[in-house]
Amino acid sequence: MGRCVTDAELLLRARVADSVAAGRRLLDSDAVAATATAAAHVTASLRAGGKVLFFGNGGSACDAGHLAAELLGRFALERRSLAAVCLSDHTAALTAIGNDYGYDEVFARQVAGLGRPGDVAVGLSTSGSSPNVVRALETARELGLVTVALTGAGGGKVAAVVDVCVRVPSEETPRVQELCMLLGHTLCEIVERDLSATATPPAR
């Protein structure tokens, strides 16, 4: 006699199927080429002594920190640490700037202080229209940074203010975040590979 499948298992199977379907759409989307372009900008900046500034809100804040950590630490190869900063992790700066200037400025003010021409600013926003992410990308562009957005299919407001807009083929927040992290991880892998021609995988 077969085991009864629970409602939780049915939901899990449905969500895995949703994610797989979104991944298949991703293969045929412009997001793949856009991510390759973004990776080339990051590589060029780091090779020239620049840095990457990541930022986002909520789940995207955690994803921004995750991607910065992959560059600061390592993704798959032993190599030098790469200059990456997650602006969402700066608790004192976030709260001070939010208190003194308003929440829309919490990333822009940090970009203004830390960013230099040739650096790369990467904003993560599932909607593409988070005011503080848009404002930071505008500031970055004004200061001569290369600007990149990771966002959903619509692009939102960030699409008009960045050099590279990576639009994944979904508007459903969990799928957008999953696909952005897939592309973000691969971006880190490309950068690491390009900057570590003689590097080897770490011993296990």
pLDDT at 26 over 90: yes
pLDDT of residue 200: 55
203 vs 135, more confident:
135
Residues 6+ apart with CB under 8 A from 29: 167, 168, 169
Distance separating alpha carbons of residues 70 and 48, to the nearest angstrom: 19
pLDDT above 70 coverage of the chain, percent: 95
pLDDT of residue 5: 86
Q: Do the beta carbons of residue 187 and residue 195 sit within 8 Å?
A: no
Model confidence, pTM? 0.93
Q: Do the beta carbons of residue 148 and residue 163 sit within 8 Å?
A: yes
Quick one: which of 184, 189, 87, 66 has its CA closest to 133?
Answer: 87
Q: What single-letter DSSP state applies at residue 137?
A: H
By DSSP bridging, strand 146-151 and strand 120-125 are parallel
Phi and psi for 78 in degrees, rounded to 5?
-75, 125
- What rounded mean pLDDT belongs to the chain? 95
pLDDT at 185 over 80: yes
Over residues 73-83, mean pLDDT: 95
- CA dihedral of 176, 32, 145, 54, whole degrees rounded to 10: 40
Over residues 102-122, mean pLDDT: 98
Where in the chain are the domains? 31-195
pLDDT at 88 over 60: yes
- The domain made up of 31-195 is a member of CATH 3.30.930.20: no
Over residues 153-173, mean pLDDT: 97
Residues 6+ apart with CB under 8 A from 184: 63, 66, 67, 124, 150
Quick one: which of 138, 132, 136 has its CA closest to 103?
Answer: 132
Q: Do the beta carbons of residue 124 and residue 94 sit within 8 Å?
A: no
Q: What is the pLDDT of residues 132-162, one digit of tens each?
A: 999 999 999 999 999 999 999 999 999 999 9
Distance separating alpha carbons of residues 183 and 186, to the nearest angstrom: 5
pLDDT of residue 68: 98
Q: Which amino acid is present at 143?
A: L
Quick one: which of 140, 133, 88 has its CA closest to 112?
Answer: 140
Distance separating alpha carbons of residues 131 and 165, to the nearest angstrom: 16
